[in-house]
Amino acid sequence: MASGAGPEIERLMALLSKLPGLGPRSARRAALALLKKREQLLIPLTAAMQDAAERVTSCHICGALSTRDPCATCADPTRDAAMICVVEEDSALWAMERVGAFSGRYHVLGGLLSALDGVRPEDLRLSGLMQRVSSGGVEELVMALPATVEGQTTAHYIADRVKPLAPEVTITHLARGVPVGGELDWLDDGTIAHAFKSRR
Amino acid sequence: MASGAGPEIERLMALLSKLPGLGPRSARRAALALLKKREQLLIPLTAAMQDAAERVTSCHICGALSTRDPCATCADPTRDAAMICVVEEDSALWAMERVGAFSGRYHVLGGLLSALDGVRPEDLRLSGLMQRVSSGGVEELVMALPATVEGQTTAHYIADRVKPLAPEVTITHLARGVPVGGELDWLDDGTIAHAFKSRR
Ligand SMILES: [Zn+2]
Ligand SMILES: [Zn+2]
């Protein structure tokens, strides 16, 4: 990306272009905005990123990204420990929390089983989930996984492992046909609330 | 943007959403990518931004963003000091440099005159340009300004001030009809090269 901007600015542009949604052109625009808005944007964003790099970790219970371990959800005694909502990534957890329709706990798998991409059960946060389920007190496992092959394969795999381990646990799924494409995060809030209320 | 991600991650998302091209949704995706790719993305990008915040300044001659002052272009004795290409922002300079069709110097105005947005001559890097032009040695001023009302108003204003100050300076314009919409940065490289070669 030779641009005449000098190696430091070019490095900034190259790294920005690795963010999802930013190509080379929008990375150049982002770099220019950062450099022109030094006090209002570059310095505060750098500080926020440094803070995140130093303090954000994964909750040892649910796997959610958080500056606290256990995370706020796992540590909150008012949240229903009998319900665990299983999501692929934190983005789905964030989407559910924005809606506010769910008052239980979460489990962030960190991915989905995929023969194509070589993602195996041991690559996901599955043993932790089995431990939570088998330790008792869980009544419902809400699968908020995408309606893709990978999402459904993962949901079936989890159900098959939970049944013998904790037959008393009910497994429900977010109403189908809604999260097509997989990105729960990309749905509007009303749709998620509906999908959650009509889970089966 | 209440998301259940905790205040630190929410602050990160809020600041990312201020970057051009990133809305709230893509800012959430960017934040997640940063947090998941801590070593490969978050830490190097934070370092690049910190470096930029500490070291990038504006060249006192041409106004370009650079870690050196004078910038590489102004300091390069092989670049033709008789030609100055006048651009709105660094992005246009970067686009010209990517093409490599221009071997002179630059002058970055830092904006365009706009009655609507209240941008007056004293808000732009104009006195520096007049100083460069009147100090002698400049033969051509290439206006690489957008074909918008603001771009053309600015070009005319500069021409009107340069004429009495340095009547020997030829003022040319990048071939019209090409940078409609204003963003020289958004043109493909072949188009810029053509626009430059066919300047009038
Ligand atoms: Zn947790
Ligand atoms: Zn310079």
Q: Which of the four pLDDT bands, split at 50, 70 and 90, describes residue B176?
A: low
Q: Which of A40, A62, A87, A90 to mutate to test the interface with B (most CBs of B within 10 A)?
A: A90
pLDDT band at B177 (very low <50, low <70, confident <90, very high): very low
Q: Is the pLDDT of residue A1 over 60?
A: no
Q: Which two tokens mark B16? A: 């990312």
Assigned CATH topology for domain B92-175+188-200: Dna Topoisomerase Vi A Subunit; Chain: A, domain 2 (3.40.1360)
| ipTM of the prediction | 0.86
B97 and A5 in contact by Cβ < 8 A?
A: yes
Which of B22, B32, B34, B46 is the mutation pick for testing A, counting most A CBs within 10 A?
A: B46
B129 beta partners: none
Closest residue in chain A to residue B64, using alpha carbons only: A5
Q: What is the mean pLDDT of chain B?
A: 89
Mean pLDDT of B80-92: 95
Which residue among B43, B53, B66 places its CB closest to the CB of A42?
Answer: B53
B134, with CB counted inside 10 A (0-12, 13-18, 19+), is middle
Instruction: Indicate yes or no: CB of A72 within 8 angstroms of CB of B98.
Output: no
Domain boundary assignment for chain A: 92-175+188-200
Rounded to a whole number of angstroms, the distance from the CA of A19 to the nearest CA of chain B is 6
Residue B46, classed as helix, strand or coil, is: helix
Contact B64, B108 (CB under 8 A): yes
Tokens of B88: 């709105």
Q: Quick one: CA torsion of A172, A176, A180, A182, rounded to 10 degrees? A: 0
Phi, psi of A183 (to 5 degrees): -90, 90
CB contact under 8 A, A15 and B44: yes
Report pLDDT for A183. Answer: 53
List pLDDT tens digits, range A134-172: 998 999 999 999 888 999 999 999 999 999 999 999 999
| Residue A178 in this model has a pLDDT that exceeds 70 | no
Q: What is the pLDDT of residues A6-17, one digit of tens each?
A: 889 999 999 999
**B192-198 contacts at long range (C-beta below 8 A, 24 or more positions apart):** B192/B95, B192/B96, B192/B99, B192/B101, B193/B99, B193/B101, B196/B96, B196/B99, B196/B101, B196/B102, B196/B142, B196/B144, B197/B101
* Span A30-43, pLDDT tens digits: 999 999 999 999 99
